[in-house]
Amino acid sequence: MAAKANRYATHLAVRSKIAARRWSRRSMFLLGGITVGAAAIGMAFAADRAQACFLWALDKIPWIGLVITPLGFGVATLLARHVFPNSQGSGIPQVIAALQIDDQDRRAPLVSLRVAAGKIIVMTLGLLCGASTGREGPTVQVGAAIMFALGRLSPYRRAGFLLAGAAAGVAAAFNTPLAGIVFGIEEMSRSFEARTSGLIIGAVIAAGLTSLAVVGDYSYFGATTATIPLGTAWVAVIVCAAIGGLAGGLFIRLVLLFATGLPGAAGALIRRYPVLFAMLCGLGVAICGLNGDHSVYGSGYDQARAVLHADGAIDYWFAPLKFLATTFSAISGIPGGVFSPSLAIGAGIAADVSLAFHSVPLGALALIGMVSYLTGVVQAPITSFVIVSEMTNDHAMVIPLMAAALVANRASKALSREGLYHALARSFLPPSADRRAHGH
């Protein structure tokens, strides 16, 4: 009897220990989600203030961008290369690479709190100087870094913490919890681990509730009731989706061309003088800004919203100029995302396509353009149509957006076999992890 009692007591102790560890892990995910939500709110505030300051300076001196933007790009590149390495670009490729590296210590340089701090500082500096970038991609890397730091305190050092941080970052940045989960599954991991699914959803909920508590319930671009009628209007859907997908594929090719290094003397000069090259890219952004009446600077949120709600006159040069400005910003290597600029470019493409389809509501076509160009860049069609649907709370457009995402994805793949983030992630992978990731 005594032996049986001892075995029972041991069994209870083991079960109690397992339960305690599970609750500890769940608490880590919830705490991380709350922290990521708070960080996303802070980044949004900093980004908005930075853009407002730059626009204020432009109002005072319209040509000041020709000075501030190149200098800002140069300083941002110096900081990203020498003070906060691995903070360049959107940050999503670094998280994808970290997910594919098994060793915790080799992951750390890509998603450390130092990198997260640098991301916030230098991203804000870029927007303060007029870069055509967004904060949503950087929020993903910051979210992953926060969760990674918590994960190192836990006995469960798994990729689930990184995945949860990335998903929570998207959810909090756009106020789109469903899109955050889909993004984590489709784009970040390309797989789903059932054991961590509930924990990831919990982190997304915590991040979303934090954002809800501070800034309230809102749709990122405001609610719309746009629809695409059955019939010939669907021709516009196909045309807009194909153009958006091809433009996104072209953007991938251009960014990868510079990321992998131009051949010959031009590539050698860029590698030797990266700061000077970044300043030239900044000058390119400033020239686009002068020709685009300053609308191409920053994330492009206001311009995309204006097209979506048909609010004011439409600038039909916005899409090509914003495309150029975003390309210059991306190839310069300064920290900053392409999510928001991609949505703005997509809305601008839709505005241009609307010239040939007067009978199609501009708001509906803008949604198609947003999904199409974003899909063309990231080649994650489910994430693209879910995130745009959730940002506008327009359920009537779900089927047209799905169709547009599929067409755009196929068009983009005609120019690039993989999306921007996964293509760029290879540069952050050690050779062995790169071979595993691509099955070589």
Nearest to 227 by CA among 380, 62, 351, 392: 392
Burial of 431 (0-12, 13-18, 19+ CB in 10 A): exposed
Q: How far apart are CA 352 and CA 133, in angstroms?
A: 22
Q: Percentage of the chain surpassing pLDDT 90?
A: 47
Residue 167, both tokens: 């998903």
CA distance from start to end of the chain: 59
- 134 beta partners: 337
Which residue ranges form the domains of the chain, and what is each CATH number? Answer: 27-215 (1.10.3080.10), 233-428 (1.10.3080.10)
Contact 372, 346 (CB under 8 A): yes
| Mean pLDDT, residues 5-19 taken together | 49
Residue 177, pLDDT score: 78
pLDDT per residue as tens digits for the range 158-217: 667 888 888 888 888 877 777 888 888 777 765 555 455 556 666 776 776 676 666 665
State the angle between helix axes of 381-392 and 159-174 in degrees (0 to 180), rounded to the nearest 10: 40
Contact 144, 165 (CB under 8 A): yes
3-state helix, strand, coil in the chain (%, to 5): 75, 0, 25
- 337 beta partners: 134
Residue 254, pLDDT score: 96
| Mean pLDDT, residues 329-346 taken together | 94
Nearest to 424 by CA among 378, 374, 376, 383: 378
Residue 214, pLDDT score: 65
Residue 79, pLDDT score: 95
Q: Which residue type occupies 328?
A: F
